[in-house]
Each structure stands twice: as C-alpha cells, then as structure tokens.
Structure 1
C-alpha cells in the first residue's frame, strides 16, 4: 500500500467513525432518501476495522485507536444475521446495537482527536443507474 492509499483509508475510517458517532437523528438526516442496507454498513465498517490493522503496523493508528476499532468490530460481529437485514435507517431506530456502536465510535474519536463531534462525511449521491 502506498502513502496516498494509507492516507485515503485512514481518512475514510475517521469519516465513517464520525458518521457512526453522530446522534441517531443526524445519521437519519445524513441518510436522507438513500436506502442504505444495514448489511452494507456492517460490511464496510468491518472492512475498515480489518484494514486499520495493517495501517496500525505502519503507524497510521495508535494502539489505543486499535483497541477502540477492535471493540467496534467485535460489537458489529455480535449483530446477528436477522438484524443485518433491511435498511440501516430502520436498524438505527430499532436495534440497540447501534447505540453501543455509537458509544464506541465516540470513544474512538475522543481518544483520537479530543472530541467525538466531527463533520459528517459528504453523502455519496444515490446511484442514478448510469443516467
């Protein structure tokens, strides 16, 4: 992995953690009309947690960062398959696991930057099907 790839992945991890740490109402506003599947969110965060292990070997993340990211990955792994089905906006309102993940993401950001309140990533425009 080159330096630019490392910077991109670290930045994406930090932005995604900001989204996970946000208040549920802010997450729902961020979602807007997008229909983001819960399983896709879980898979993306699990991937970021795994990639962060390699980034930590290159000192892009501190050991405390990794403890927090591992805790997030572990909590995500505890979400059973039935709770991964459906839209993430619905899961945010009904599955208490997302409250736990929110708390863990806040702990990560607090340790990393001293404040869990971070700008949310710019939403990716909905797929227009090639239009």
Structure 2
C-alpha cells in the first residue's frame, strides 16, 4: 500500500463493514436520532465494493478479501429502487437484504482482521447552518 488515500479508503471500508456487520439493535443504537437515508448507505457501500478491487491491486487488501465485498455489492444491487427510499433505520427492520449482508460483512472482517467484532465508526455530526 503506497498511497495515503488507499490507507484512508481501507480504513473507511473496514469501519463501514463493521457497521454492516453489527447486530441490528447495535446499528439502530448507532443511528440514534440520525436520519440517514437508505440510498446514501447503499451508494456508499456499493462504491466501497467497486473500488476494493483496485485497492487490492495496490496492496490495501488481499485478493481473498474481495470475495465477500463482491458478494455484498451483488446483494446490494438486488435491492429494489423502492426499498432504497426512506430512512435506513426503517429499512433495517423491513428489508431482508440487510440481514443477508450482515453475515457477509462479518465474514469479510473475519477474513481481513481475524474477528468481525470491531468498533463502530464514530458518527458524523450533521451540518448545522453556516460555517
């Protein structure tokens, strides 16, 4: 791994996978009062899954790590457009894809880090007003 950006993208991928791997109640607790749109989560994870192959070519991930990320990307691609609308907290309870993605994210973390139980990313505070 020779790019500072690669290290950042690797870290971001691992943190997002930790969030996807967490139990549903932990995901909901992490969300708290945040109104995170499902489509934003899907797009972010799809992007991370797409760039993972290039990151592996540059040494940020091992080629064996890609199998689970690709499976996550495929499962996300199966989520119907209507199910991408609304809050992620609601989708976690109603869209079966999230329950399917959880074990894939866990397997990715086990393969990559040796354990799926990782700290959840620090939540980003929403922007409020002008700078």
- The answer for the alignment partner of 2:95 in structure 1 is 95
In 1: Cα distance, 2:124 partner to 2:7 partner: 19
- The answer for the alignment partner of 1:36 in structure 2 is 36
- The answer for the alignment partner of 1:8 in structure 2 is 8
RMSD (Å), alpha carbons: 1.3
How far apart are residue 113 of structure 1 and its match?
1.3
- The answer for the alignment partner of 1:59 in structure 2 is 59
How far apart are residue 3 of structure 1 and its match?
1.3
User: SS in structure 1 opposite 2:71?
Assistant: helix
In 2: Cα distance, 1:53 partner to 1:129 partner: 38
- The answer for the alignment partner of 2:127 in structure 1 is 127
How far apart are residue 48 of structure 1 and its match?
0.6
Q: How high is the TM-score relative to the length of structure 1?
A: 0.96
User: What do residues 25-73 of structure 1 show as CA deviations (whole Å, max 9, x unaligned)?
Assistant: 1101111111000000000000111111110111211122101100000
User: SS in structure 2 opposite 1:124?
Assistant: coil
> Unpaired segments of 5 or more residues in structure 1?
none
Runs of 4+ in 1 over 3 A off after TM superposition: none
> Unpaired segments of 5 or more residues in structure 2?
none
Q: How high is the TM-score relative to the length of structure 2?
A: 0.96
